[in-house]
Amino acid sequence: MKLSTKSRYGLRALANLIGQDCCCSVSKISKEEHISSDYLEKIFVKLKKAGVLKVERGAAGGYTLSRDPSQITLKEVIDSLEKAEFSCPSICNCQSKSVYQQIQSGFSQVLNSITLDHLTDSQNKLTYFDYAASTPIDPQVLSTMLPYFDFSYSGNSSSLHQFGLKSAQAIEDSRVIFSKILNSKPEEIIFTASATESNNTVLKGVAFANKDKGKHILISSIEHDCVRESARWLKTQGFEITEIPVDKDGLVDFQFLEKNIRPDTILVSVIHGNNEIGTIQDILKIGKICHDRGVYFHTDASQSFTKVTIDVQKDNIDFLTASSHKIYGPKGVALLYIKSGSNITPLLHGGGHEFGIRSSTVNTPLVVGFAKAAQIAIDQMDQENSRLTQLRDYLIKNILKNIPNTHLNGSAKFRLSNNVNISFDKIEGESLQLSLDLYGIAVSTGSACSSHSLEPSHVLSAIGQKPEQAHSSIRFSLGRFTTKSQIDYLLKILPGEVSKLRKLSPFK
């Protein structure tokens, strides 16, 4: 038993309706929630029949709740739309019947205990705009993972008995899913514990395996800290690092790249979708330059994976990093694509798991969850991208329009569908972050005030921002559970909080 689309849409529409000041037409809600108006009309007619909704007549008329939201339970709503039943599929009176009855009664109890105002509470009181930092796990992913914690999957995937083989099979099936998404061979996918680990493995592993060829590495000036810090450490080991500059949109300078690939260059590492400003690099072009010059190309696709199509063969990628917890999968698992035949030394030595590249017992449930998350994300990529792009552009447009002295950071055109990064002049980012947090709105800042270094973000500095602008930046990152009404809530709170902080500032 699971909620069908009808119930989900019904609940979403009701939550939206509660957020409206008065009665509301079907067409308005259908537009805001991206539900077809015919379908929504049918849902509303049923809800009206069941006494959940009523219709106000007149010019300002429309649908409205018949009672206070705290008086309407989810059970009532779902029952009026479909039969919320968890019944035994068998008609006979077997032993399982009582189990199903128990589940049904628990199910009804839960639905009876949740009212519509709970629904809007979670919508308004906790408004998460930090999906680029981490995403909540998709319930479908979680339920896919759970059986893999059972005894039958508890074997070590490198053991040859049935327990081990079952785990091994689940991991190999997952590898196939990723290889299809990336257009690679399954054995080119290595599972690791984090994107940080994948990036460390590439930087250090390629450096040490190829030091006879040369000790020069190129990275972009807007890499994630795990690439930057790995490169910085390699410097202490005698490697030479050159940073490729970016333009004001955050796009790497191809001419600089071409000019600075030398005979002793062994690796170029450029982040695909930037984590702070969302700029998407032309990896096809970078891959071609590297391929033509015979240099390995690594891209950190932690933010872009399943948001932008990646074809490792067409894009000439030798190494690629992707992470699970950015795509509604569990934390603690990531992947590294390694083109077959590439020369790389492992970081972890041991039992030779993952084709000898990453010794460690593979965590079967996490890998399975990661693969499921990737499959879901890829299946809905186009639809989700267009939904998020609309919401993103709506948010950007309204901030820039309604709040003076605000600027969009990063490229307007080559941008992740879920990233909004804005500088609010004369304000320190952390204080705005905290102001919003007090309203239950979670965002992220490029300000250094909340970090140990007190240095402003290197990414914002790299796109030419002065330190004071960099300190004033806020990143809003959207995701699968972001709705237009959440964005409207943010847009309602934001101008007042910005002007409050500006009033405190000595700079007018």
What binding mask, one character per residue, do residues 122-151 give for another protein by CB under 8 A, x or -?
A: ----------xx------------------
Q: Which of 10, 278, 456, 479 binds another protein (CB under 8 A)?
A: 456
* Binding status of residue 427 toward another protein by CB under 8 A: yes
Our CB check for another protein shows the closer of 353 and 471 to be 471
Q: What's the CA gap between 495 and 134, in Å, rounded?
A: 26
Question: Which stretch, 17-25, 175-183, 214-222, 433-441, contacts another protein (CB under 8 A)?
Answer: 433-441
Q: Which of 227, 223, 207 is nearest to 215 (CA)?
A: 207
Our CB check for another protein shows the closer of 242 and 447 to be 447
By the 8 A CB rule, do 240 and 266 touch? no
- Phi first, then psi, for residue 63 (nearest 5°) are -80, 145
Residue 219 CB neighbours (<10 A): 24
Q: Which of 299, 304, 418, 447 binds another protein (CB under 8 A)?
A: 447
* Binding status of residue 467 toward another protein by CB under 8 A: yes
CB of residue 73 to another protein, shortest distance in Å: 36
Q: Which of 58, 89, 238, 506 binds another protein (CB under 8 A)?
A: 506
* Binding status of residue 457 toward another protein by CB under 8 A: yes
**Look-up: residue for tokens 């849902």?**
43
Q: What is the largest CA-CA distance in the chain?
A: 82
Q: Which two tokens stand for residue 138?
A: 């998709």
* Binding status of residue 450 toward another protein by CB under 8 A: yes
**Look-up: residue for tokens 């699968």?**
480
Q: Tell how many helices (H) and how many strands (E) occur in the chain.
A: 18, 15
What binding mask, one character per residue, do residues 273-312 give for another protein by CB under 8 A, x or -?
A: --xx------------------------------------
Cβ burial of 58 (10 Å; 0-12, 13-18, 19+) is exposed
CB of residue 479 to another protein, shortest distance in Å: 15
Residue 248 CB neighbours (<10 A): 12
Q: Which of 250, 471, 476, 494 binds another protein (CB under 8 A)?
A: 471
* Binding status of residue 404 toward another protein by CB under 8 A: no
How many residues belong to the site for another protein (CB under 8 A)? 36
Q: Which of 304, 445, 465, 482 binds another protein (CB under 8 A)?
A: 445
Our CB check for another protein shows the closer of 153 and 476 to be 476
Q: Which two tokens stand for residue 370?
A: 């990661």
* Binding status of residue 242 toward another protein by CB under 8 A: no
Q: What's the CA gap between 290 and 318, in Å, rounded?
A: 10
Our CB check for another protein shows the closer of 133 and 491 to be 133
Q: What's the CA gap between 223 and 307, in Å, rounded?
A: 19
Q: Which of 22, 59, 91, 438 binds another protein (CB under 8 A)?
A: 438
Q: Which of 66, 73, 51, 69 is nearest to 7 (CA)?
A: 73
Active site residue 94: no
Q: Which of 125, 139, 437, 496 binds another protein (CB under 8 A)?
A: 437
CB of residue 470 to another protein, shortest distance in Å: 9
Our CB check for another protein shows the closer of 380 and 451 to be 451
Write the secondary structure of 375-429 as one string of H (helix), E (strand) and C (coil). Answer: HHHHHCHHHHHHHHHHHHHHHHHHHHHHCCCEEECCCCCCECCCEEEEEECCCCH
Q: What's the CA gap between 365 and 324, in Å, rounded?
A: 12
Q: Which of 76, 315, 384, 428 binds another protein (CB under 8 A)?
A: 428
Q: What's the CA gap between 123 and 114, in Å, rounded?
A: 14
CB of residue 447 to another protein, shortest distance in Å: 6
Please state whether beta strands 216-220 and 240-244 pair in parallel, antiparallel, or not at all (unpaired): parallel
* Binding status of residue 323 toward another protein by CB under 8 A: no
* Collapsed DSSP state (helix, strand, coil) of residue 234: helix
Binding site for another protein (CB under 8 A): 132-133, 275-276, 426-431, 433-434, 437-438, 444-452, 454, 456-457, 466-468, 471, 475, 503-507
Residues noted as catalytic: 449
